[in-house]
Amino acid sequence: MRNPNRVFVFNVATIFVLTTILASAVSQAQDTSQLREKNWPEFRGPLGDGNSALAKPPVTWNEDEGIRWKIDVPGTGSSTPIVWNGRIYLTSSIKTDKVDVALPEAADQPDRPFGIKFPNQIYQSVLLCYDATNGKEIWREVVVEAVPHQGHHPDNNYASATLTTDGKRLYVPFASLGFHCYSMDGQLIWRRELGKVDTRLSFGEASSLVVRDGKLMICRDNEGQSYLIALNAETGETVWRVDRDEPSAWATPLILKRKDKTHVVTNGKTRIRSYDLDSGELLWECGGQVSNITPCPVADGDLVFCMSGYRGNSAQAIKIDSNGDLTNGDQIAWSINRGTPYVPSPILHRGLLYFTQSNSGILSCVDAQSGESVIERTRLDSISKLYASPVAADGRIYFVGRGGTTMVVQHGKEFKVLATNQLDDFFDASPALVGDTLYLRGRSHLYCIGH
Give the pLDDT confidence score for residue 259 in this predicted structure: 84
pLDDT in tens, 111-143: 999 999 999 999 999 999 999 999 999 999 999
Q: How far is 135 from 132, CA to CA, in rounded Å?
A: 6
Amino acid in the structure at residue 444: S
Q: Is the pLDDT of residue 4 over 90?
A: no
pLDDT in tens, 157-199: 999 999 999 999 999 999 999 999 999 999 999 999 999 999 9
Kindly state the average pLDDT of the residues 107-113. Answer: 95
Q: Is the pLDDT of residue 22 over 60?
A: no
Kindly state the average pLDDT of the residues 41-66. Answer: 97
Please state, for a pLDDT cut of 70, what percent of the chain lies above it: 93
pLDDT in tens, 222-252: 999 999 999 999 999 999 999 999 999 999 9
In the predicted model, what is the mean pLDDT of the chain? Answer: 94
Which residue, among 344, 439, 397, 428, has the nearest Cα to 83 in the 3D structure? 439
Q: How far is 126 from 108, CA to CA, in rounded Å?
A: 29
- In the chain, what are the domains? 39-450 (2.130.10.10)
Give the pLDDT confidence score for residue 131 in this predicted structure: 98
pLDDT in tens, 288-334: 899 999 999 999 999 999 999 999 999 999 999 999 999 999 999 99
pLDDT in tens, 412-426: 999 999 999 999 999
| DSSP character at residue 395 | T
Give the pLDDT confidence score for residue 25 in this predicted structure: 47
List own/partner pairs for 65-69 with CB under 8 A and 24 or more apart. 66/449, 66/450, 66/451, 67/447, 67/448, 67/449, 68/437, 68/448, 68/449, 68/450, 69/134, 69/135, 69/447, 69/448
